[in-house]
Amino acid sequence: MVKALSDTYLTFKTIFTGMGITFRHLFTKSVTVQYPVQRDVLPERVRLKLHVNIDDCIGCRLCERACPVECIDIGTIKSTDDVDLGETSTGHKKKLWVDKFDIDMAKCCYCELCVHPCPTDCITMVEEYEYSVYDRNDLIFPFSDMTPEQIEEANRKLEEEAEAKSRKKEEAMLAKKKKAEAQAAGGEADGDKPKDAASGGSTEAGGSAETGGEEAGGEGAGTEKSGTGKSDAEASGDGDADAEKAARRAEREARRAARRAEREAKKKSE
Amino acid sequence: MQQFLESFLPAGPVVVFVFSIIPLMIILIYALFAIWLERKVAGHIQDRLGPMQTGGWHGWAQTLADLLKMIQKEDIVPAKADRFLFKMAPFIAFAASYAAFVAIPFSSGYIGSMIDIGVFYIVAITSLLSVSIIMAGWASNNKWSLLGAMRTAAQTVSYEVPTVVTILSVIIVTGTLNLMEVTEMQTGNAFLGFLPSWLIFHSPFMVIAFVLFFIASLAEAHRVPFDLPESESELVGGYQTEYSGMRWGLFMLTEYADMLLLSLVGATLFFGGWNSPFGSFMDGPVWGAFWMLFKGMVLVFVMMWLRWTLPRLRVDQLMNLCWKYLIPLSFVNLVLIALWEMIF
Amino acid sequence: MTNVKENRPGPEVTLSPPVDAGNGLKTQEMVISMGPQHPSTHGVLRMELTLNGEIVTRAIPHIGYLHRCFEKHSEAMNDYAKVIPYVDRMDYVAAMNNELGYAIAMERLMDIRVNDRVEYIRVIMSELQRIASHLLAVGTFGLDIGAFTPFLYCFIEREKILDIFEKASGARLLYNYIWIGGLMNDVPADFKTDTAAFVKSFRPKIKELNDLLSHNKIFIDRTANVGVLPEKVAINYGVSGPSLRGSGVEWDLRKDDPYSIYDRFEFDVIVGQGEMGTVGDCWDRYIVRVWEMEESLKIIEQALDQMPDEGDVQEAVPKKIRPPAGEIYCRTETPRGELGYYIISDKSTTPFRVKARAPSFVNLSVLPAISIGAMVADMVAIIGSIDIVLGEVDR
Ligand code: SF4
Ligand code: SF4
């Protein structure tokens, strides 16, 4: 009986406390943001959409390799000696045409792993979040600004150059062969050497003329390798990189801020 | 009212029709408003805003838009369901609560039917609701629905007892079952010269009776904390699980109509029905209707407020509360009120 | 054609034979599928319940609806850092804690030491995340019991934490913020004031939550003495985290096997005391979470005081992550319990194996043991009180 009474008392007491709280909330200010009309002020680092400033991209593919879901697809064409692609705003020399730079935002997991390794800070997260589409393929954002004609042109030039180079190399090889033959003819005494040269002549030549061989290996493999070479070089140069790192990051932050300010100014002017 | 209608309408069935359609209009308009209000109350209690877009001012047309959407929806009947019962259930549910409004005196000039057993009739006809819910739960051929229906059967049967007993204790005082007469008894200022002579001020036990009645009516209307038949976090949707479109909408309408019905009964029995709280000031048939609905809405609001505050009871606790607390208490209260009547 | 029934996975449910109820009617148990589209199974858990009326006589959880091959994915990554986004997605409501565990495991494997600023930021972040996660657990638990409003109050507070995270990392749910050897970014300049303001504003909210929900009589009736998990059973099943502490076992890895810098802070380990019913009931598990938020606030306050202002958060981030061949098991205390990573390295940049011991998965296994004899409504309470995240159960 006593328990029943105290239970009843407790029930009413707690119910009225609860009602008091909800009643107070009835008149407190709502936290709702009336979205399309009002918008939250987003913090600086929001990750909403990737943007690539293609003018600054050197086609190093570091971003592509950093992505855990493989949603960045980059194609590059090596530029020929007669064209100068200029420099990026960060002072990096551009050596590759970037004929394809597709980011599939439908696959992207917004982890921002691609943003950090970029040497020229041209891949960034921007404050744009209303880009839903009806077709999933529309979420593949192409960033390359090359026209098909330009791509063809670049490919053709590269082929021509490669042909020229390989011709040169063949000539060089021939010359070498001749030299070897001459040597062989000159000294009959070392028995196995001439045979070796005759059978594996081409591979040895390829190995000795390192850069030439790589270029002859076709554009895909060539660019891939040059990319790796670059990253490895950066990785091995740990000592000075460490010293410069803080400065570099500060610089990067500043650049990002500047870019954001620019964008905002643009938005405002619109 | 009937005479008033007859003065400009041809007599006969038309007048009867117009006369009987009035509660339906009230229910529909009220439902539109109450669902909107519920959303707003829920929203603001939870520090949100609730609907804001549809119709301009604070989303007033949201329910209307939802209604249009619901009407357009496909009428889905599960393949293995008992088609006839499944389709009938929502209509019976709504019919039951609509029929009950006939005995409610909306104002001194309007009552659907001046039946002498008004309260008794209301209590009886609302029981139909549980029949329809069991129909819906059984016909859906869904185990969750069935569980919901089972709970409802148990709940309604138990809660009818305290409701009737508390009503009975009011009837002891009034001596009539006719709600119009009950209301008329409460006209004027009786107690201490300034308190309206509402039954709730009649004796302290009346307050207890009201609290008991209110709790029982929450259970009757299946509102939190007694919304077990449809408790969505346990039984998915209870008996409504398989319903969609307008059939579901009818259940929704019934729920709100039931809330209003019980609130109006509560207002009539305890708060003077259509009587103005200021004596003869702001009195009259039109003001009467206003006061009646206003009092009903206040109770409805409290129901909403409770809903957004409290968790839900478990089914055995619900029974516990009913049989171990409400029923004994209401009987004791009944005796006390009777004694009070005898002494004073 | 193959018979679908024969290929059905999982144990076959055999019903008890029909019983004569004595009036010519026969009654039999009923099998009901709770989930995966049930509103209260916290995602896509499916419970196969055998019911006698509303009483559960058998409960079999079926999992795997959210399986995303976390471990296989990790083995396919050619960089240990790329695993972090996947780690985030295991327990998606406590991503920071997941990252922290992984980062610490890798740092131990590679013998990296991070500086104090990183440690403090990590601790603050993971405690904030613990609060956020407990808020969600407590809120949805209330929702399961039928109280809608406390859930949204909890969410309002959780949003504030997510705002702090967003300012620091740019993301609100899956941060990829704690890196191996450091952090993605340093925290913004106003981080300290933001966090301190949150801590200050949050204390009264715990009280409000207690008034509105924890001490509500109906809520107590619904949760006390329900789903009692005795101490022995909990230990036998390997339950960890608040669910274990709710059973009265004082076991918190932050105290008992300190990682990071948790040994520098003063806080209490909250255990269930059976205040409202039996030790180890749903209410105890619930209240442990509520008071743990308070303890987390204490840790955050201390950490904010002690945090050094200087320090490069990327100082120790390795350029190339190539751990020495070997293996490591490292466990940390996430909001759900003991999260262990077992990592094997074969000296390449690709992980040979990353296995996660997910607390939710282990905690879920105790469900059949404690739900016998409960009612359907209690089932909902029990699932809610164990606080599983299906992303982590299935991985
Ligand atoms: S944000 Fe992450 S997932 Fe998206 S493109 Fe960059 S690396 Fe890939
Ligand atoms: S890392 Fe930067 S520069 Fe390199 S390919 Fe990607 S976007 Fe271009």
pLDDT in tens, C316-375: 888 888 888 888 898 898 888 888 899 998 888 888 888 888 888 888 888 888 888 888
Q: How confident is the model at residue B1 (pLDDT cuts 50, 70, 90)?
A: low
User: Phi and psi for C21 in degrees, rounded to 5?
Assistant: -80, -5
Whole-prediction pTM: 0.81
Q: In whole angstroms, what is the distance from residue A230 CA to residue C264 CA?
A: 43
Residue C90 tokens, joined: 């295991």
Q: Are B103 and B112 in contact (CB under 8 A)?
A: yes
| Type of residue found at B264 | L
**How much is the pLDDT for C13?**
59
Query: Among residues C55, C141, C31, which one has the least CA distance to residue C374?
Result: C55
CA nearest C176: which of C95, C117, C120, C106?
C95
| C149 closest CB neighbour out of B46, B227, B313 | B46
Q: Please say whether the beta carbons of A75 and A224 come within 8 A.
A: no
Which of C159, C312, C320 minimises the CB distance to A246? C312
C227 and C374 Cβ atoms separated by less than 8 Å: yes
Ligand nearest to the CA of A66: 1
Residues 6+ apart with CB under 8 A from C11: C60
Element (H, E) at B335: helix B327-343
- Which residue, by CA, sits nearest to atom 6 of ligand 2? A63
A2 touches chain C (CB under 8 A): no
Q: What is the pLDDT of residue A243?
A: 56
> What is the C-alpha separation between B9 and A268, in angstroms, rounded?
66
Which residues in chain A touch residue B48, judged by CB atoms under 8 angstroms apart? 30-32
What's the topology of domain C70-394? Cytochrome-c3 Hydrogenase; chain B (1.10.645)
Determine which of B186-195, B266-275, B314-323 has the lowest per-residue pLDDT on average.
B186-195
Order of strands, sheet of C55-62, starting from the edge strand that comes earlier in the sequence: C30-34, C46-52, C55-62
Q: Which long-range contacts (CB under 8 A, 24 or more apart) does C276-279 make?
A: C276/C220, C276/C223, C276/C224, C277/C220, C277/C224, C277/C225, C277/C226, C277/C228, C278/C224, C278/C225, C278/C228, C279/C228, C279/C230, C279/C231, C279/C247, C279/C248
Look at residue A131 and tell me whether its pLDDT is greater than 60.
yes
Q: Is A112 on the interface with C (CB under 8 A)?
A: yes
CA distance C116 to chain B (A): 40
> Which whole number is the average pLDDT over C143-172?
87
Question: How far apart are the CA of A121 and the centre of ligand 1, in A?
Answer: 14
User: Nearest CA to C380 among C88, C146, C113, C208?
Assistant: C146
Q: Tokens representing A229?
A: 């070479």
Residue to mutate among B309, B318, B320, B333, with most A CBs inside 10 A, is B309
Q: Of A103, A122, A119, which is closest to residue A237 (Cα–Cα)?
A: A119
CA of C318: how far to CAs of A229, C6, C81, C179, C354, in Å?
19, 53, 10, 10, 19
Residues B87 and A43: their CA atoms lie apart, in Å, by 54
Q: Please, what is the average pLDDT of chain A?
A: 72
Q: What whole-number distance in Å separates Cα of residue A145 and Cα of residue C109?
A: 44
What's the distance, Cα to Cα, between the start and end of chain A in Å? Answer: 75
What Cα–Cα distance (Å) separates residue C13 from each residue in C16, C51, C60?
10, 12, 9
CA B114: distance to chain centroid?
A: 20
**Could you tell me which residue, A201 or B101, shows the higher pLDDT?**
B101
Q: Rounded CA gap, B181 and B269, in Å?
A: 10
* pLDDT above 70: percentage of residues in chain A: 73
Strands of the sheet containing C351-357, edge to edge, are C326-334, C337-345, C351-357
Length of chain B: 344
| ipTM score | 0.81
Number of the ligand 1 atom closest to the C-alpha atom of A72: 5
| Confidence label for C81 from pLDDT (cuts 50, 70 and 90) | confident
- Closest by Cβ to A22, choosing from B48, B49, B305: B305
Q: Which two tokens stand for residue C360?
A: 């939710």
Q: Which of C176, C2, C150, C173 has the alpha carbon at shortest distance from C85?
A: C176
Six-digit token pair at C314?
């990327």
What H or E segment, with its residue span, contains residue A10?
Answer: helix A2-26
| pLDDT-based confidence at residue A270 (cuts at 50, 70, 90) | low
Convert the pLDDT of each residue in A63-85 to its tens digit.
888 888 888 888 887 777 777 77
Q: What is the largest CA-CA distance in chain B?
A: 66
Q: What lines the ligand 1 site, CB under 6 Å?
A: A 50, 66-67, 69, 71-72, 103, 108-114
Query: Residue B139: its pLDDT value, please?
Result: 86
Atom of ligand 1 nearest to the CA of C85: 2
Alpha helices, DSSP H only, in chain C?
Answer: 70-76, 83-88, 95-110, 116-145, 149-169, 191-209, 217-223, 231-237, 242-246, 253-256, 282-306, 359-364, 367-371, 376-386, 390-394
Q: Is the pLDDT score of C10 beyond 60?
A: no
Q: Is A59 in the pocket of ligand 2 (CB under 6 A)?
A: yes
C169 vs A21, A45, A245: nearest CB: A45
Q: What are phi and psi of B92, to 5 degrees?
A: -65, -40
What is the pLDDT confidence band of residue B277, given thresholds at 50, 70 and 90? confident
Token pair in block for residue C381: 């309470």
Residue C383: which of C226, C150, C154 has the closest Cα?
C226
Side-chain-side CA neighbours of C55 within 13 Å: the count stands at 7
Q: What per-residue string of b and e applies to C296-312 under the rule 16 or more CB within 10 Å gives b? A: bbebbbbbbeebeeebb
Q: In this structure, which amino acid lies at residue B267?
A: A
Q: Determine phi and psi for C58, rounding to 5 degrees.
A: -160, 140
Tokens for B313, please give them.
């009871």
Q: Do residues A71 and A103 touch, judged by C-beta distance below 8 A?
A: yes
Tell me what the mean pLDDT of segment B236-258 comes to.
83
Confidence of residue B8 (pLDDT cuts 50, 70, 90): low
Q: Determine, for residues B309 and A21 on separate chains, whether the beta-carbon distance falls below 8 Å.
A: yes
Helix A2-26 / helix B285-307 crossing angle, nearest 10 deg: 110
Q: Is A122 in the pocket of ligand 2 (CB under 6 A)?
A: yes
* Predicted local confidence at residue B9, as pLDDT: 63
Determine which helix (DSSP H) or strand (DSSP E) holds C46, and give its type and residue range.
strand C46-52
pLDDT of amino acid A222: 39
Residue A188: the pLDDT is: 54
Q: Which residue has the higher pLDDT, A30 or B188?
A: A30
Q: How far apart are CA B191 and CA C213, in angstroms?
A: 40
Q: How is residue C196 written in tokens?
A: 């301190």
Given pLDDT bands bounded at 50, 70 and 90, which one contains residue C112?
A: confident
Output the six-digit token pair for A42. Answer: 């987003």
Q: Identify the nearest ligand to the CA of C85 by its number.
A: 1
Listed by number, the residues of chain A in 238-257 with a beta carbon closer than 8 Å to a beta carbon of chain C are: 238, 241, 245-246, 249
Name chain C's partners: 3 or more CB pairs within 8 A: A, B
Report the pLDDT value the prediction gives residue B253, as an integer from 0 to 100.
86
Report how far ligand 2's centroid is from the alpha carbon of B283 (Å): 81
Burial B262-276 (b: 16+ CB within 10 A, else e): bbbbbbbbbbbbbbb
Both tokens assigned to A95: 């050596």
- Give which of C14, C42, C139 is closest to C379, Cα–Cα: C42
Contacts of B317 in chain C (CB under 8 A): 221-222
Residues 6+ apart with CB under 8 A from B22: B106, B110, B112
Q: How many CB atoms lie within 10 A of CB A112?
A: 24
Q: Distance (Å, rounded) from C-alpha A195 to C-alpha A180? A: 11
Measured from the Cα of A123, ligand 1's closest atom is 6
Residues B15-74 pLDDT 10s: 777 777 887 888 888 888 888 888 888 888 888 888 887 777 888 888 888 888 888 888
Q: What is the dihedral of CA C151, C153, C155, C157, to 10 degrees?
A: -150
Which two three-digit tokens encode residue B285? 């048939």
Query: Could you tell me if C138 and C326 are in contact, meaning their C-beta atoms sit under 8 angstroms apart?
Result: no
Tens of pLDDT, residues B207-217: 888 888 888 88
Of A54, A55, A56, A57, best ligand 2 pocket probe by most atoms within 8 Å of the beta carbon: A57
Q: Where are the domains of chain C?
A: 4-62, 70-394
pLDDT-based confidence at residue A210 (cuts at 50, 70, 90): very low
C-alpha closest to that of B264 among B83, B161, B126 = B126
CA distance B144 to chain A (A): 30
The pLDDT tens digits of the residues spanning A145-204 come to 777 777 888 778 788 878 888 888 888 888 888 888 777 776 555 444 444 444 444 444
How many Cβ atoms from other residues are within 10 Å of residue B7's Cβ? 9
Asked whether the beta carbons of A26 and B44 are under 8 A apart, the reply is yes
Residue in B with minimal Cα distance to A36? B53
Instruction: Give the residue-averaged pLDDT of C180-192.
Output: 85
Contacts of A171 (CB under 8 A, 6+ apart): none
Residues C337 and C111: beta-carbon distance below 8 Å:
no
